[in-house]
Amino acid sequence: MDYHDVLAAFGVGSAHPGGFTGTTFWMDRLQLSVGSQVLEVGSGTGRTACALSERFGVKVIGVDIRQEMVDKARKRAQMMSLDPDFILLDRSDILPFPDQSFDLVVAESVTVFNQIEALVSEYYRVLRRPGHVIDTEMAATSSLPPEVLLEVKELYGAMTVPTLKEWKSIYMAAGFEPVQSIVSGPAREVDLQSEEHDGMAIVSPQAFSKEASAIVDHHFNFMSDKGKWFQYGVFQAVK
Ligand SMILES: C[S@@+](CC[C@H](N)C(=O)[O-])C[C@H]1O[C@@H](n2cnc3c(N)ncnc32)[C@H](O)[C@@H]1O
């Protein structure tokens, strides 16, 4: 079991810095015409994908590499009588869609856990022109000391955590222009147990295992000791 399995077990609806409040912030500023095609990468339990579908009446496809997340996202859509599709991916580096398939790509606390440049290039490839990405990611406040980075790798599985400036540069290097950070702030802890007003979180029995408790404790201790090294940014990158 790792941190991401714990998120899946708790069925956390907004497992990203800023939480659903942060999602609502960028969604309030989003203009999407009916007929737009939206891809959410790392859609987790489907809360954002369902909110996009409900609010804008657009077609949303959510993809995730974890079966439990996809199952819970499908259940959520069913309970809300919404029609996003949730697809299980068998690899994390390639999005199984033709070039220029979508008008908007959304990622919330996903890119950082991957080969960042490769995944950002995939976002670019599957976007139409004009199209854009909204990506909410953890960012380092400055270059991380080796012991902090080591713990990030062990606990979250992220190989690196770019600063806000580095995130912008990565998006620009992939061809996006302009790239702006529409909001940033201190990395708010993901509250694994409160659901942040998500009445539809489906909690699995594994969430109450000793292993899960140890990971939750590690996460909270790490954030309390080392949280000053982290912030988050919501990036809007235009193709
Ligand atoms: C921290 S969780 C965030 C989930 C969701 N975006 C949210 O905010 O609640 C990261 C999610 O991304 C998924 N994931 C990580 N890398 C992925 C990839 N390359 N493609 C698709 N899903 C990925 C994980 O399985 C997990 O569900």
Instruction: Give the distance from CA 24 to its chain's centroid.
Output: 14
Under a CB-based contact definition with an 8 Å cutoff, are residues 2 and 106 in contact?
no
Task: Please spell the DSSP secondary structure of 72-93, one letter per residue.
Answer: HHHHHHHHTT---EEEE-S-SS
Could you list the pLDDT tens digit for every one of the 239 residues in the chain?
999 999 999 988 888 888 888 898 899 999 899 899 999 999 999 999 999 999 999 999 999 999 999 999 999 999 999 999 999 999 999 999 999 999 999 999 999 999 999 999 999 999 999 999 999 999 999 999 999 999 999 999 999 999 999 999 999 999 999 999 998 887 765 444 444 567 788 899 999 999 999 999 999 999 999 999 999 999 999 99
The residue whose CA is least distant from atom 16 of ligand 1 is 110
Contact 106, 155 (CB under 8 A): no
User: Which class is domain 3-238?
Assistant: alpha beta
Instruction: Give Cα 124 to chain centroid, integer Å.
Output: 17
pLDDT value at position 212? 94
Please report, for the chain, the start and end positions of each structural domain, with discontinuous segments joined by +.
Answer: 3-238
Q: Please give the pLDDT value at position 239.
A: 98
Nearest to 41 by CA among 86, 2, 100: 86
pLDDT for position 192: 45
Q: How far is the CA of 91 from the centre of ligand 1 (A)?
A: 12
What DSSP string describes 5-41? HHHHHHT-S--STTHHHHHHHHHHT----TT-EEEEE
**Ligand 1: which of 63, 90, 113 to mutate, most ligand atoms within 8 Å of CB?**
113
Contacts of 166 (CB under 8 A, 6+ apart): 139
Q: What is the pTM assigned to this prediction?
A: 0.94
Cα atoms in the 13 Å half-sphere on the side-chain side of 82: 27
Peptide bond into 145 cis (omega under 30): no
Helices (H), the chain: 3-10, 19-28, 47-56, 67-79, 116-126, 146-156, 164-173, 210-226
Q: Residue 111 C-alpha to ligand 1 middle, in angstroms?
A: 8
Burial code of 108-141, b = ≥16 C-beta within 10 A, e = fewer? bbbbbbbebeebbbbbbbbbeeebbbbbbbbbbe
Look-up: residue for tokens 């139409």?
Answer: 128
80 lines ligand 1 (CB under 6 A): no
Residues 6+ apart with CB under 8 A from 101: 37, 39, 126, 128
Q: Is the CB of residue 107 less than 8 Å from the CB of residue 40?
A: yes
Going by CA atoms, what residue is nearest to atom 11 of ligand 1?
A: 42
Residue 79: per-residue pLDDT = 95
The torsion angle over the Cα atoms of residues 91, 5, 40 and 117, rounded to 10 degrees, is -50
